[in-house]
Amino acid sequence: MSETSERDLIQELHALLHDGEEEALQIFLRLVRPEDIADWLDLLSQDDRQQILGALDHDAAGTVLTDTTASIRAELVEDLEPERLARIAEALPADEAADLIGELEVEESEEVLHHISSEDEEVLRQLLTYPEDTAGGIMNPEVVALQPTDTVDDAIRYLRSADGDTITAAVYVVDEEQRLLGFVRLRRMVTARPAAHLGDIMSTDVISVAVDTDQEEVADLVDKYDFMAIPVVDAGGRLMGAVTVDDVLGVIEDEATEDIYKMAGSSAEEEGSESILHVARYRLPWLLVCLAGTQLSSFVLVMASREIHLYEQMSVFTAAIMAMAGNTSLQSSTTTVRRLALDTLPRSRFLRHILREIAVALLMGVICGAVASLLALLLHNNPLIGLALGPAMAIGMSAASLLGTAMPLILDLAGVDPAVASGPLVSTINDSLALAVYFSVATGILLWMG
C-alpha cells in the first residue's frame, strides 16, 4: 500500500467515524486488512478506536488487538465486556488468546475464562500456567500429532480437516502416551505411498525444547536450524505444542526492545504505562547512580587541583578526554554485547577479544592523542600540556575500551544480561575512570618533565 493511498484511506475512515454511518463503517472495515487497521489506531482518538473495535467481527478484532501496541491494547480491552472479549479470544490461536488474557488482572481474566467454552478454557488455563518468556508461554498447542501406525492417507485426511490455527509445518508422531517419537515433513508425505505408515517414514532426529526453556534460546534454535516450527515437550517427553517462526519473530523484537531499554537505563515495562510515577520508578534509580558517579568524578578533579599548579590548563581538556573515552567504551561494549547476543563469541575467546579491543583502542588513542597534542601546542603557550595530553588520551581510551569490553563478559559469566553493560552504570564508571587516568598520567608526565 502506497503512502498516498494509505493517507486517503485514513481520511475516509475519519469521515465515516464522524458521519455516524455504522453500516458504511462496517463495510469499509471489512475491505481493509486488520493489520493495517492496527497500525492506524495510534492516529485516532480513544473514542474512535473504541468505535472501530465495536464495528469489527471477532476475528478481525482479535488481529487488531494482538497487532497494536501494548498501551492501546490495554486501553481497548479495559472497555470491552468480558463476553465480547471471550468471543475474540476464541477466534484467536490459543497462544495469542492466552497472551491477551494473561495481560488482564486475575479477577478480569477469570471472568473472561468463565465465558469461554470448557474445551478452550482448559487449554488456555494450561498455557497461562507457563511463564510468558518460556517455550510454554509462546507455544501453540494446536499441532498434528498421530500414531506410528497411522498411514500417510490418514495424516492427509487429518490435515484437511484441521482448522486454520493448527500448525501444519510437520506431522508429529507420538506414542499412546503422547511422547514425541519423530516427525514427518509435508514434502516427505507427498512423495510417500498413501498406505505407508508414519512410523516407517518418520525422522527420529528430533530437536525439541522443554516447556520451561527460555524464549531467547528457542529463538536461537529456530534461527540456527531454519525451522518453521520446533516442538515443545514436558518433563516426560510428551508433546505439548510447537513454537512457530512467527512466534520467534515476536520474541526477537521483544528481546531487542528489552536490551534497548536496558542500555538506556530503563525498562520495557514503561512502554505500556501512562503513569508518570510508574515510568519515573524505572528511570530514577539509574539517574541516582549517575549522580553518585558524578560526585566521584568531582572528587578526582578536587584531588588533581591540589596536586599540581597546572590543573587549570589541564582541566580545559577534561571534556575531550571524557568524550573520547566514553565513545571508545561505547564502541567496545556495543560490539561485545552484540556478539554475545548472536552467540558468536565463545568463552574460550574472551581473552583474545579483550586484547583485540584494547589494541584497537590504543591505536586509535595514539592517533587521536597526537592530533589533540598538536592542537594543544597551537592553542596554548605551555608546550608541556600538549606533550602530556597525547599519552594521557591514548592510555585513557585504552582503559575505557578495557572497561567497555570486560564488563559485558563479566556480566555474561555471572549470568546477568550483558546489555546492562551499555547502560548508565558503565558510563558513570567510565567518566570517573577517564578523569582519574587522565590526571594521573598527565600529572606524572608534567612532574617528570619538571
* 3-state SS string for the chain: CCHHHHHHHHHHHHHHHHHCCHHHHHHHHHCCCHHHHHHHHHHCCHHHHHHHHHHCCHHHHHHHHHHCCHHHHHHHHHCCCHHHHHHHHHHCCHHHHHHHHHCCCHHHHHHHHHCCCHHHHHHHHHHHCCCCCEHHHHCECCEEEECCCCEHHHHHHHHHHCCCCCEEEEEEEECCCCEEEEEEEHHHHHHCCCCCEHHHHCECCCCCEECCCEHHHHHHHHHHHCCCEEEEECCCCEEEEEEEHHHHHHHHHHHHHHHHHHHCCCCHHHHHCCCHHHHHHHHHHHHHHHHHHHHHHHHHHHHHHHHCCCHHHHHCCHHHHHHHHHHHHHHHHHHHHHHHHCCCCCHHHHHHHHHHHHHHHHHHHHHHHHHHHHHHHHHCCCHHHHHHHHHHHHHHHHHHHHHHHHHHHHHHHCCCCHHHHHCHHHHHHHHHHHHHHHHHHHHHHHHHHC
Separation between Cα atoms, residue 449 and residue 57, nearest integer Å: 82
Closest CA to 270 of 281, 260, 285: 281
**CATH number assigned to the domain with residue range 270-449, chosen from the 4 options 2.60.120.10, 1.10.357.20, 3.40.50.300, 1.10.3720.10:** 1.10.357.20
Separation between Cα atoms, residue 432 and residue 295, nearest integer Å: 9
- Helix locations, 308-349, DSSP H: 311-315, 318-341
CATH number of 3-138: 1.25.60.10
Strand, helix or coil at 171? strand
Q: Which residues contact 22 (CB under 8 A, 6 or more apart)?
A: 55
Q: What is the pLDDT of residue 440?
A: 77
- Helix locations, 264-317, DSSP H: 276-307, 311-315
Which position has the higher pLDDT, 347 or 313? 347
CATH architecture of 143-244: Roll (3.10)
The model's pLDDT over 286-322, given as tens digits with 9 standing for 90+, comes to 556 666 655 665 665 566 565 555 556 667 777 788 7
- Strands 180-185 and 167-174, bridge-based pairing: antiparallel
Separation between Cα atoms, residue 296 and residue 432, nearest integer Å: 6
Separation between Cα atoms, residue 325 and residue 404, nearest integer Å: 10
Which grid coordinates are listed for 287? 539517574
pLDDT exceeds 70 at position 240? yes
Q: What is the pLDDT of residue 287?
A: 58
Q: Where are the chain's structural domains?
A: 3-138, 143-244, 270-449
Q: What is the pLDDT of residue 374?
A: 84
pLDDT exceeds 60 at position 2? no
Q: What is the pLDDT of residue 375?
A: 81
Q: Which residues contact 314 (CB under 8 A, 6 or more apart)?
A: 304, 308, 385, 388, 438, 439, 442, 443
Q: Summarize the confidence of residues 242-254 as an average pLDDT.
A: 83
Q: What is the pLDDT of residue 294?
A: 58
* Of the ranges 268-282, 289-303, 402-416, 429-443, the best mean pLDDT one: 402-416
pLDDT exceeds 80 at position 345? yes
427 near 264, Cβ under 8 Å?
Answer: no
Label residue 272 by pLDDT band (50, 70, 90).
Answer: low
Question: pTM of the full predicted structure?
Answer: 0.65
Cell 536450524, located at residue: 225
Sign of the Cα pseudo-torsion (161, 165, 168, 170, in order) = negative
The mean-pLDDT minimum among 95-99, 364-368, 407-411, 432-436 falls in 432-436
Q: Summarize the confidence of residues 369-377 as an average pLDDT.
A: 83
Separation between Cα atoms, residue 286 and residue 193, nearest integer Å: 64
Judging by beta carbons within 10 Å of its beta carbon (0-12, 13-18, 19+), is residue 421 exposed, middle or buried? buried
pLDDT exceeds 80 at position 275? no
For all residues of the chain together, what is the average pLDDT? 83
Closest CA to 233 of 136, 146, 140, 144: 136
Which grid coordinates are listed for 80? 470491552
Q: What is the pLDDT of residue 137?
A: 92
151: DSSP letter: B
Judging by beta carbons within 10 Å of its beta carbon (0-12, 13-18, 19+), is residue 39 exposed, middle or buried? middle
Which position has the higher pLDDT, 195 or 383? 195
pLDDT exceeds 90 at position 210? yes
Separation between Cα atoms, residue 86 and residue 72, nearest integer Å: 19
The mean-pLDDT minimum among 197-206, 225-234, 253-262, 327-336 falls in 253-262
Q: Summarize the confidence of residues 312-341 as an average pLDDT.
A: 79
pLDDT exceeds 90 at position 6? no
Which position has the higher pLDDT, 390 or 380? 390
Q: How far apart are the first and last CA of the chain?
A: 72
The mean-pLDDT minimum among 52-61, 124-133, 272-281, 326-335 falls in 272-281
407 near 335, Cβ under 8 Å?
Answer: no
